[in-house]
Every structure is written in C-alpha cells, then in structure tokens.
Copies of this chain bind each other. A is one copy, B any other.
C-alpha cells in the first residue's frame, strides 16, 4: 500500500477519506452502528490486530467521530460512542450496504434488512434524490462550483474530454 495523505486536497470526498478512508475504519464504524462500544469487542469481532485497532480508534476519537468515555459497567474500561459527526456517517454506511448487496451478493439473499422501527417497513434504497423524492441518475445531475470551490475543483468539474 502506498499510503499518503489527502489533507491538502480541498475536496469534500478527499477530506472524508482522510478521516474514514483507512483500511478497517469503516468496519469499525459499521460495528459501532450495531451498538458495539468496547475495544475488546471490536478486536474480537473484527479479528484485527491490537495495534491497528488502537490506531484507528485514536484517530477517529481525535477527529471527533467517536467520543471515549468511562464505561458505565466498569469504571476502569472505556466506551467508544459515535458522536453526531459519527452518526452522520449513516448514509455513507447504508450506501455501501446497498451497493454490496446488489453487486457483491452472497447468493442467498440480503444479509441484513433495514426497516423503519416505527412501521416495520423496509427503508428506501439509497439514491441521490430531488426535493420530490425521485431518484436521479448521475446523468440527471449537474455539478456546479460552489462558493468554496478552488481552481482545481473548477477545472475538474468544467472539463470535457468526454
């Protein structure tokens, strides 16, 4: 792996990858969405090395995706809980689930079904949608430079070697 940093790339996707793009990180966050909180539980479930797990949790806590606080059950151990910033990764996580179910299925049907707790009905497939709720294809969407676009972004989205 040639690992580098995307910190200098002024792009929302690069900045997101800088925080959650390390190998293992999104599986740690997946587990947290399933209610997992303790170091030992992550380690056992993922079969990840102690060093790598410690590195990932340290980084995610430093970035404010997790907060680390004393466990309610055992004052000597710690819980890692998703913050608001962490919870806001939910659409990203579910987009990955949907894509993996569609394009890397195991042949026996969905591994996990997500339902709205209040109604028991399945949640909608993740899609880019207009205000009316219609799913839009990439071809139906136009990217425009916003007020925060730098020259690189303007060049990227204005190009046409298509």
Copies of this protein chain in the complex:
2
Known: A45-B156, A91-B126. A112 touches B143 (CB 8 A): yes
Complex formed: what's the CA distance from A161 to B81 in Å? 12
Complex formed: what's the CA distance from A6 to B30 in Å? 14
Interface residues in A76-96 by Cβ distance below 8 A to B read 85, 87-96
Interface check A70, CB cutoff 8 A: no
Known: A13-B26, A23-B4, A159-B36. A148 touches B90 (CB 8 A): no
- Convert A91-106 into 0s and 1s, putting 1 for each residue whose CB lies closer than 8 angstroms to a CB of B: 1111111111111111
- Convert A16-30 into 0s and 1s, putting 1 for each residue whose CB lies closer than 8 angstroms to a CB of B: 111101110011001
Nearest CB in chain B: distance from A136 CB, A: 6
Tell me if A116 and B140 are in contact (CB < 8 A): yes
Tell me if B137 and A87 are in contact (CB < 8 A): yes
Give the chain B neighbours of A52 by CB distance below 8 A: 2
Nearest CB in chain B: distance from A77 CB, A: 11
Tell me if B95 and A116 are in contact (CB < 8 A): no
Give the chain B neighbours of A88 by CB distance below 8 A: 99, 102-103
Tell me if B97 and A12 are in contact (CB < 8 A): yes
Most chain B beta carbons < 10 A, residue from A13, A52, A123, A143: A13
A91 touches which of B95, B111, B113 (Cβ 8 Å): B95
Give the chain B neighbours of A16 by CB distance below 8 A: 96-97, 99-100, 103-104
Most chain B beta carbons < 10 A, residue from A3, A88, A117: A88
